[in-house]
Amino acid sequence: MGRVVITGAGTVNALAQDVAGTWAAMHQGQCGIGPLDFRDVERLAVQIGAQVRDWNPETHFNRQQLSLYDRFTQFALVAARQAVAQSGLNFDGRMGLTAGVVLGTAGGGVNTWDDSYRTVYEEAKNRVHPLVVPRLMNNAAPAHISMEFNLRGPSFSVSTACASSNHAMGLAYQMVKRGQAKAMLAGGAEAMLCFGGVKAWEGLRVMSRDACRPFSLTRNGMVMGEGAAVYVFEDLKHARARGAEILCEISGFSMNSDASDIVMPSRAGAARAIAGALADAKMKPDEVGYINAHGTGTAANDKTECAAIADVFGPHADHLLVSSTKAMHGHLIGATGAVELLAVILALRDGVIAPTIGYQEPDPECALDVVPNTARQAPIKAALSNAFAFGGMNAVLALRKHEENAANP
């Protein structure tokens, strides 16, 4: 079994349209949540979200490409371009024969669905655009990324609600670890911020109308976001041989199912996923310094996750830094774990712990150090990234600072 490192990262999200800008915003505790701006927003009960502002697709794609690309595919392609450029990899020849891309998305081309429904039902037209199906399908983004970068290995999408991108990254990690490919692109993309997308989520009554406040006693729900993050996962020996910059090492991954309820999270299931990631990474609980929590800002999720962390880490839970960055970039549903991984890399690389902004009042059922409102500096050698989804689908990644292992074979 090989070891797997990240050698490239890219993102488009409500905080910034690149990694450097996102890291700066996380460090400063900026909030990307604001009033939504799209057709019929006034008909929604929830009118806030973490929208990608000033997005100009014409600067990235030509007219022919845009006829094929839903908004979520646009985000994914730009993030992938950034990641590949940073990695310095070229996928021509043998490299491209095994390399592939695995992306998470819960909704795929939701904007295309929304536009097409309007065309048929509201405008009473009998025809839709001939490329509707290629635009809306969940595998559109990985398909277009594979074509752009000549990735001829495994390329597919994963859809497990809010755990989609953690599942996608975990699967890509396993492929590189097992030697199926020297490198894989992995991450997630989502663009549900349109009338139909938000209206569907309103029905669940889990949305806040004013702000996302994870772990705070005053929390009243999640806030949706949009965007993408894509990474280059690479075999460590291959990365070292070509002198690549290594952002961090992926050391372990665990996934399981609660098999209990379609929407309510399970403390036991979350704890098993966390413990499984530690075991896969051969990581002791007291090695972990930071957890990027799923932390949606809903009453049920936050207290269940805190309880699961306490179950796994015992007394060490009091020494953990645990934050949710969703209060900054929103809940990107299938892409959320991918964007949140940027906060984990920031903690491992620079020792900067992104804060849980919007925090107002302690909750006795969330009695962890949630890094309230202001970023903190702390040396971190190992970290976890949690994702717990509707359907009881859990996926946890374990990561290490790469310098500590540089001397190991």
Q: Are 36 and 79 members of one domain?
A: yes
pTM: 0.97
Distance of CA 6 to the CA centre of its chain: 15
Q: Are 237 and 269 members of one domain?
A: no
- The last residue of one of the domains, among 191, 207, 241, is 241
Task: List the catalytic residue out of 144, 167, 238, 294.
Answer: 294
pLDDT tens per residue, range 15-34: 999 999 999 999 999 999 99
Annotation says 331 is catalytic: yes
Q: Are 219 and 357 members of one domain?
A: no
Q: Residue 409's pLDDT is what? A: 38
Is the pLDDT confidence value at 387 over 80? yes
For 342-369, what is the mean pLDDT? 98
Which CATH number covers residue 352? 3.40.47.10
pLDDT band at 366; cut points 50, 70, 90: very high
124 is a domain residue? yes
Phi then psi dihedrals of residue 51, to 5 deg: -90, 145
Q: List the domain range (segments joined by +) for residue 53.
A: 4-241
223 is a domain residue? yes
pLDDT band at 403; cut points 50, 70, 90: confident
- The last residue of one of the domains, among 241, 268, 296, is 241
Higher pLDDT, 405 or 306: 306
Q: Are 209 and 314 members of one domain?
A: no
pLDDT band at 407; cut points 50, 70, 90: very low
Q: Are 31 and 120 members of one domain?
A: yes
* Cα–Cα distance, 110 to 108 (Å, whole number): 6
Q: Are 231 and 258 members of one domain?
A: no
pLDDT tens per residue, range 226-258: 999 999 999 999 999 999 999 999 999 999 999
Q: Residue 274's pLDDT is what? A: 98
Phi then psi dihedrals of residue 85, to 5 deg: -60, -45
Is the pLDDT confidence value at 203 over 90? yes
Is the pLDDT confidence value at 85 over 70? yes
- The last residue of one of the domains, among 208, 241, 274, is 241
- Asked whether the beta carbons of 258 and 269 are under 8 A apart, the reply is yes
Higher pLDDT, 404 or 37: 37
* Number of domains present in the structure of the chain: 2
Annotation says 162 is catalytic: yes
Task: List the catalytic residue out of 31, 144, 162, 366.
Answer: 162
Task: List the catalytic residue out of 238, 331, 366, 402.
Answer: 331
